[in-house]
């Protein structure tokens, strides 16, 4: 890893965090393209994005808990069961073609963009802290 890669990663990471904070979208949809730009493959980018999400989600969840918005038992149930789904997702991601996975991720980004645009045009208000 060169000095330039490190500097680019730090700047892009800060920018991704800033955008997700301002626009109320999750860090992951910005981390994955950032990691692709830094030269990682699609599966590596997904895996690494998940690790980068952990501190952001921890800070966000802790803050929301102090606001009284977090329903701990529901979160524990959804999170606990999601581990089974996560294994299925990893199996699928490591088996299907990386270029197909990249295209599917592109479709996801287009969907998020459309949803954000529709939400903004329809009501002009946003829900912060979605991840």
CA dist., res. 24 & res. 91, Å (int) = 30
Single residue of 3, 4, 88, 97 touching another protein by CB under 8 A: 88
Contact predicate 119/14, CB 8 Å: no
Single residue of 3, 12, 97, 98 touching another protein by CB under 8 A: 12
CB of 97 to another protein, least distance (A): 13
Which of 77, 27, 76 lies closest to 56 in space, CA to CA?
27
Instruction: Confirm or reject binding of residue 100 to another protein (CB under 8 A).
Output: no
Token pair in block for residue 46: 């997904």
Question: Among residue numbers 35 through 64, which ones bind another protein (CB under 8 A)?
Answer: 35-36, 38, 40, 43-61, 64
Taking the least distance from each CB to another protein, the nearer of 97 and 113 is 113
Phi-psi region of 72 (alpha: psi -120 to 50; beta: other; left: phi over 0): alpha
Instruction: Confirm or reject binding of residue 1 to another protein (CB under 8 A).
Output: yes
Instruction: Confirm or reject binding of residue 3 to another protein (CB under 8 A).
Output: no
């Amino acid at each position: 890893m060169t000095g330039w890669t490190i500097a680019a990663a730090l700047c892009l990471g800060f920018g991704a965090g800033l955008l997700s904070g301002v626009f109320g979208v999750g860090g992951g949809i910005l981390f994955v393209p950032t990691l692709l730009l830094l030269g990682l493959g699609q599966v590596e980018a997904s895996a690494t994005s998940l690790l980068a999400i952990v501190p952001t989600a921890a800070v966000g969840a802790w803050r929301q808990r102090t606001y009284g918005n977090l329903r701990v038992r529901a979160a524990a149930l959804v999170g606990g069961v999601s581990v089974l789904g996560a294994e299925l997702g990893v199996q699928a991601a490591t088996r299907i073609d990386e270029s197909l996975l990249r295209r599917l991720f592109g479709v996801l980004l287009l969907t998020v963009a459309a949803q954000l645009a529709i939400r903004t045009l329809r009501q002009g208000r946003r829900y912060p802290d979605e991840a």
